[in-house]
Amino acid sequence: MFGSVFLFSIMNVLVKLLMDRFSVTEVAFFRSLFALLPVCLAIHLSGGFRTALRTARPMGHLTRSLIGLSTMIAMFWSFHLLPLGDAIALNFAAPLFLTALSVPMLNEKVGIHRWSAVLVGFSGVVIIAKPSGDLLSLGVLVALIGAFCNATAMITIRQLSKSEASNTIVFYFTLLTTVLVGLALPFSWTTPSPTEWAMLTAMGLLGGCAQLLMTRAYSLAPAAVVAPLTYSSLLIAVLFGWLLWGDVPTASMGLGAAVVMVSGLYILHRETRRNATPSRPPPAGSDD
């Protein structure tokens, strides 16, 4: 998981650099296109395409890809509009949205403990957003839209995982996003220089490898063990933001990020307890 976080962090830096010259659609296209290389290699080494291409839920994969593409575009755009650390910190609101959405979309029961964590977490989002300027600034709104779409994508992955292998989900997501963004590419094309080609290629390869490492991490250990490690990406983002763009994190950003992270970790803890196989039926009126 640390490997995945580090590769995603380098990818995010490249995205922010490339967004100064290229449209978000062109960056997203090459992110998906070059990510196909490590994804296809992993599929070839783990059973071949005959197994990975087999699916009974093509529309489910299309829905997941559309939502995932919306997440990618919103996140990439937020990197351009905000300091990298702020954008990453706001993206940590995704587990808060996930908890709220799990009620209408997954028919899950969310008790007072997790609802309280969601409310506290969103207070952290307000603390992060306000020092960046207007609470409803474009950058903040785009980052929160990305977090919301990310939460929705997690729900679709949960639903697909009931019948689809992880490699199948990753393959169709990467393939379909490449095709979908490719349709808009002629309307926003900027010819890259040799250096920019190298950056675009590296961005896609890093993203594909990071995705595979993250999937592998979740197959090797419980979510409660590996998921908290994703919060280390904030430290890396703040470091790169300071070194490359001179973005010095404010005390308010640090406080708000801490509140959001603690809320997310508490939600993860409660969900892990809820999903554990009970030795006896839970008592009536259990709040989570």
Q: What is the pLDDT of residue 288?
A: 47
> pLDDT for 38-65, tens place per residue?
999 999 988 888 888 889 899 999 999 9
How distant, in Å, are the alpha carbons of 99, 102, 177, 180, 223 from that of 107? 11, 6, 28, 31, 21
pLDDT band, very low/low/confident/very high, at 96 (cuts 50, 70, 90): confident
Q: What is the pLDDT of residue 134?
A: 57
3-state secondary structure of 122: helix
Sign of CA dihedral 252, 258, 264, 266: negative
Please determine, for residue 278, whether its predicted confidence score (pLDDT) is greater than 80: no
Which one has a higher pLDDT value, 276 or 87?
Answer: 87
The token duo for 239 is 């470091």
Give kind and range of the element (H or E) at residue 250. Answer: none
Q: What is the pLDDT of residue 131?
A: 57
Strands (E), the chain: none
The token duo for 226 is 């590996």
Residue with tokens 């299309």: 62
Please determine, for residue 222, whether its predicted confidence score (pLDDT) is greater than 80: no
Closest CA to 124 of 259, 282, 275, 229: 259
Please determine, for residue 112, whether its predicted confidence score (pLDDT) is greater than 60: yes
Determine the longest span between alpha carbons in the chain, in angstroms: 65
Please determine, for residue 264, whether its predicted confidence score (pLDDT) is greater than 70: yes
Please determine, for residue 136, whether its predicted confidence score (pLDDT) is greater than 80: no
Three-state SS string across 37-72, please? Answer: HHHHHHHHHCCCHHHHCCCCCHHHHHHHHHHHHHHH
State the Cα–Cα distance between residues 128 and 87, nearest whole angstrom: 10
> pLDDT for 174-205, tens place per residue?
999 999 999 999 999 999 999 999 999 999 99
pLDDT band, very low/low/confident/very high, at 277 (cuts 50, 70, 90): very low
Q: What is the pLDDT of residue 286?
A: 44
Q: What is the pLDDT of residue 285?
A: 43
pLDDT band, very low/low/confident/very high, at 243 (cuts 50, 70, 90): very high
Return the domain boundaries, the chain. 2-186+194-275
> pLDDT for 2-39, tens place per residue?
999 999 999 999 999 999 999 999 999 999 999 999 99
Tell me the average pLDDT across 115-135.
Answer: 78
User: Position 33: which residue type?
Assistant: L
Give CA angle at 49 (44, 53), nearest 5°.
145
